[in-house]
Structure 1
Amino acid sequence: MATYFHDYFGVSRDTLDDYGAFNVSIINDLPLFIDPFLLFHSANPEYQKLHESILHYIRFLRDQVLAGRVNADRIKAWFHFPEVRQNWMGFSLVGNGGSGLGRKFAGALSENLADLFADFGAEKVSKSSHLEKVCLVRDGVGRDNISDFTTNLIMDYLCSYTEAFAVAHIDPKLLRKIWVNKAVFNYGTGSWERRQYTLPWLARDNDFVLLTPKDILTRDENWINRTDMIRDFDQIPMAIPDAELRGQVFAYFEQELARPADGEVTQRQLDEAAAKTFIKFPLLVDYYIRHKEQTGEKAVDVSSERVTETQLIFEEHVRAVQKLLAATTGFYALPGGTYEETHQRLAFLKDVIENKGGHRIFWHNGKAIQREQDLHVLARLIWFGSPSDVGAEANDGRGPVDYKISRGAFDKTLIEMKLAKNTALRRNLEKQLPIYQAASNAESGIKAIIYFSLEERMRVTAILKDLGIEGHRDVVLIDARIDNKPSASKAA
């Protein structure tokens, strides 16, 4: 039941930590991303060289766009990239698949380079150019795109980094020589070339696995990001030394804001006016980036904390719960159809969470998890080991469901893992699951609702009573409160 890299490839976690690599799950993507700012700010010369190589490629693309040498074939060759699924990081809720960088990304990137950042590489305000700059002003290039683009552009480094570790520490029987496409760009021919590496081989997926250094990873937003830039708009113009230009910026902002008669404006209106002002005055972007460069040490601290938190929640806590489930229940050895199996597994999980300390999986530094996406990844990692096929976000034409547990075409059970605080919980309970059942032709559907406070429990109970389904077998409430558990000695 190997869930993580070190399990499958027979290396210790200490060995991985000493090497500086993140111990990825080989079951599911974890919500981590490569932040190119961490390459720029690092004192590691190799990272700085990688950052410069990224900028070199962006300048190459910019020059081709401005020279009118970009056609459909070159767009595909230079701007389209596959999902680097082998690093096991990203948004996927089951497995490690993704859409990659396709036409939408290529269009947004080429447009931004052409009409907004023709001076990319020659900035006078910030210390350096930054890849993130091309996603700041217009929508279309997001956090996951930046990480995917960065990952593709440093593919040779990641493969070499993994190869060095693999050859030194992993049984040769678990390695394979692999040709990797788009590993190195040849500026002489204007084309990507492949390279061969000796990499860890995951026989189950018939694919290789990549390791990534922890010190270039972050979670949530990149340090340089559009949300921060828009929300900090009122502070950024103050850094402009030209008073006349500063006045023009604020005047244009007020013009675009078009305040209503009562003077009340929404956050959305403020954000839209700020975005239009950045497009009108691109120099503001450079001042925002300079501020981010000047506070780079904070980026390192924040990213390190987020990576440590991710490792604690998605590895340490998951492993602890897996051990409890394996030692005290029959969670990983259940016979029967998917409906009974799912109910029994939920019963075991509920018992471990409520009575045996398993609730800690959802808590970090006194705060409960905030995103249902994190809940789904945790559930997927815990559920691994079932004889049934576990799919996520199954969409049979009328909307997605969190998980579809199936054994063949005629034995399916749908399960949704929900946070009690979800504002759409009532609507979901009332309408969604019957639609999913009809669309999937599933016999059964089950809701698992996790709450972290008495207030959340009272809210869920009131909804269930109002809908007439309180106590229904297929609605499973799980108490994950941190202040309502037995002591460690009693729990043991």
Structure 2
Amino acid sequence: MKIKLLFSHYFDIEEKVLDEYGALNICLDSDLPLFIDPFLLFASDNLEYQKLHKQIVGHLISLKKIAIEKQDLSDLNLFRFPEIRQNWLGLCKYGNQGKGLGPKFAKNIISAFNGFFINFGDEEVTSESHIEKLTLIDSGVGKDFISDFSANLILEYLLEYTERFAKLHLEEHQRKIFSVRCVFDEALQIWKPKKFELPYLYLEENGDFILLTPMDILTKDSSFINHSDLVGDFKNITNSIGNSSLRQAINSYFYRALPPNPRKKEFEMAVSQTIREFPEILDYYILQKEGNKNQSKQLSKKKIEQVRNELISTLIEFCETVLERSDFYNIKPNSYSEALKRANYLKDVIENNDGYRIFYKNGKPIASEDTIQRIFRLTWYASPYDVNSEVNNGRGPADYKISFGSGDSTIVEFKLARSSSLKNNLRNQTEIYKKASKSISDIKVILCYTMPEIKKVEKILKAMKQEKAENIVVIDAIPKISASKIK
């Protein structure tokens, strides 16, 4: 079986073709944990990017005007934005079906525009308005809004960008014409369709189109303007305010709100309380970011390389060196034995077939729980089983729920041995998930990088009287000495 995991594999082109075009080589099995950061559009020397940034902010300002002036907002369609799943970016470890910005977001942003952020778009301190500002204080507008909203507003550009690549580098049978709603008619207040010739999943029946995204507008985790950065640098931000009266008033208020020997949560609450009293702090923070815009491009490039080196290359290496050489996909027991066999297969690959190497770069361990979860997902490629990641049935998300019909399901959880919460998680977590998901069975997979970590796990399992439990799979990812060097 040939696994066509990446865009370049699927369309039989070299990765360097995408690199030279500037596009990310996306994974067509599950989303990559990358996001569009509108600040990178603002910070770019590319005039087209700068225009796109103004377009994003301009649309948001138009929505603010509607939210304030329109009395009847029972129709929330203008404030709802679907996830652009065809770019294969986001948090899904299985497929590309995200939630997008629905009714809850619509109500929260309408409320924000009629409350704390009523002056959005009228800033005088910063050179431009920035949509990230809406996520800097608890307004009910989360950081996931940034990428989803931006992708919707620059969708026409992304479609044109992808179409150019397709016509230049792909075969005719690998392209198809699609009509996509991407042009906003301001007069009619509706989104209109436009036709594009795009790459699509041509090996599948009714295959969907695929979007490419320029690497230089992507980031990992948080955008350059983000809440945790604001809190962490709060004192420097307030002390940099040139207006001495305002600076003194802010500092005086903040230190009154701060209890003696504050904990992290108390510090964050004092910051939030001070910002609500002095909203202009947000503009001074953003001004500071505007002054460091070159840093945003450097950080983004570093994060993209990290994802490519530590996640994408790891997944590909695992796929190419192991999965393609096995008859693994012929296994068809029940969900528990199916999941257990795959977990043990993963263990065997890592411990006995040099699979541990993919978890190290320059001698340092790189695999996070996210990485091992995504690798495990690959062992289900072309499987008839229903493999859902981060299933949330009211008690928090489980890593995977494997099922074959309504009466056969298994929860699988992944942990790093170095986790400080390992003991509690082993005792409680999957039992909670099992009850919430009505799963029959559970499997726990623990990745160890050092001998002390293995000893730690052994001690925990012994105390729990679970040292021989078949459903707890401990993987030894310690670097091994080559067999040729053993005397």
TM-score by length of 2: 0.91
Q: Counterpart in 2 of 1:193?
A: 192
Q: Report the Cα offset of residue 326 of structure 1.
A: 3.3
- Counterparts of 1:100-179 in structure 2, within 5 Å, are 100-179=100-179
Q: Which region of structure 1 is more displaced relative to structure 2, 97-106 or 286-295?
A: 97-106
Q: 1:316 and 1:370, CA in 2 relative to 1: closer, same or farther beyond 3 A?
A: closer
Distance between the aligned counterparts of 1:228 and 1:354, measured in 2?
A: 40
Distance between the aligned counterparts of 2:483 and 2:211, measured in 1?
A: 38
The AA in structure 1 aligned to 2:481 is P
Q: Report the Cα offset of residue 477 of structure 1.
A: 0.6
**Percent of residue pairs bearing the same amino acid type:** 40
Unaligned runs of 5+ in 2: none
Is the CA contact 1:178–1:196 (under 8 Å) kept in the aligned structure 2?
Answer: yes
- Counterparts of 1:346-385 in structure 2, within 5 Å, are 346-364=343-361, 367-369=364-366, 371-385=368-382
- Counterparts of 1:380-459 in structure 2, within 5 Å, are 380-394=377-391, 400-409=397-406, 411-434=408-431, 436-437=433-434, 444-459=441-456
Distance between the aligned counterparts of 1:104 and 1:397, measured in 2?
A: 18
Distance between the aligned counterparts of 2:412 and 2:334, measured in 1?
A: 14
Q: 1:277 and 1:393, CA in 2 relative to 1: closer, same or farther beyond 3 A?
A: same
Q: Report the Cα offset of residue 18 of structure 1.
A: 1.2
Distance between the aligned counterparts of 1:442 and 1:248, measured in 2?
A: 56
Q: 1:367 and 1:170, CA in 2 relative to 1: closer, same or farther beyond 3 A?
A: same
- Counterparts of 1:267-346 in structure 2, within 5 Å, are 267-326=264-323, 329-346=326-343
Root mean square deviation of aligned Cα: 2.5
Alpha-carbon deviations, 1:317-362, whole Å to 9, x = none? 1111122213664434435444444333333322221233322333
Distance between the aligned counterparts of 2:236 and 2:78, measured in 1?
A: 37
Q: Counterpart in 2 of 1:208?
A: 209
The AA in structure 2 aligned to 1:355 is N
Distance between the aligned counterparts of 1:431 and 1:122, measured in 2?
A: 50
Q: 1:58 and 1:467, CA in 2 relative to 1: closer, same or farther beyond 3 A?
A: same
Distance between the aligned counterparts of 1:439 and 1:23, measured in 2?
A: 37
Q: Report the Cα offset of residue 471 of structure 1.
A: 2.3
Is the CA contact 1:236–1:287 (under 8 Å) kept in the aligned structure 2?
Answer: yes
Q: Counterpart in 1 of 2:464?
A: 467
Whether 1:35 aligns to 2:34 is: no
Distance between the aligned counterparts of 1:122 and 1:434, measured in 2?
A: 51
Distance between the aligned counterparts of 1:397 and 1:235, measured in 2?
A: 40
Q: Counterpart in 1 of 2:65?
A: 63
Q: 1:275 and 1:433, CA in 2 relative to 1: closer, same or farther beyond 3 A?
A: closer
Q: Report the Cα offset of residue 246 of structure 1.
A: 1.1
Q: 1:218 and 1:373, CA in 2 relative to 1: closer, same or farther beyond 3 A?
A: same
Is the CA contact 1:391–1:404 (under 8 Å) kept in the aligned structure 2?
Answer: yes
Q: 1:474 and 1:487, CA in 2 relative to 1: closer, same or farther beyond 3 A?
A: same
Is the CA contact 2:37–2:224 (under 8 Å) kept in the aligned structure 1?
Answer: yes
Distance between the aligned counterparts of 2:291 and 2:441, measured in 1?
A: 56
Q: Report the Cα offset of residue 270 of structure 1.
A: 1.0
Q: Which region of structure 1 is more displaced relative to structure 2, 27-36 or 114-123?
A: 114-123
Q: 1:109 and 1:368, CA in 2 relative to 1: closer, same or farther beyond 3 A?
A: farther
Q: Report the Cα offset of residue 77 of structure 1.
A: 2.5
Q: Report the Cα offset of residue 440 of structure 1.
A: 5.5
The AA in structure 2 aligned to 1:97 is Q
Q: 1:399 and 1:288, CA in 2 relative to 1: closer, same or farther beyond 3 A?
A: closer
Distance between the aligned counterparts of 1:490 and 1:319, measured in 2?
A: 28
Is the CA contact 2:310–2:367 (under 8 Å) kept in the aligned structure 1?
Answer: no
Q: Which region of structure 1 is more displaced relative to structure 2, 36-45 or 93-102?
A: 93-102
Q: Which region of structure 1 is more displaced relative to structure 2, 344-353 or 206-215?
A: 344-353
Q: Report the Cα offset of residue 228 of structure 1.
A: 0.6
Is the CA contact 1:180–1:195 (under 8 Å) kept in the aligned structure 2?
Answer: yes
Q: Counterpart in 1 of 2:220?
A: 219
Is the CA contact 1:28–1:380 (under 8 Å) kept in the aligned structure 2?
Answer: no
3-state DSSP of counterpart to 1:115? coil
Distance between the aligned counterparts of 1:374 and 1:113, measured in 2?
A: 39
3-state DSSP of counterpart to 2:373? helix
Distance between the aligned counterparts of 2:206 and 2:366, measured in 1?
A: 30
3-state DSSP of counterpart to 1:449? strand
Alpha-carbon deviations, 1:10-30, whole Å to 9, x = none? 322111111111111111111
Q: Report the Cα offset of residue 269 of structure 1.
A: 0.9
Is the CA contact 2:318–2:375 (under 8 Å) kept in the aligned structure 1?
Answer: no
3-state DSSP of counterpart to 1:207? coil
Q: Counterpart in 2 of 1:233?
A: 234
Q: Report the Cα offset of residue 379 of structure 1.
A: 2.2
Q: 1:335 and 1:118, CA in 2 relative to 1: closer, same or farther beyond 3 A?
A: closer
Q: 1:379 and 1:339, CA in 2 relative to 1: closer, same or farther beyond 3 A?
A: same
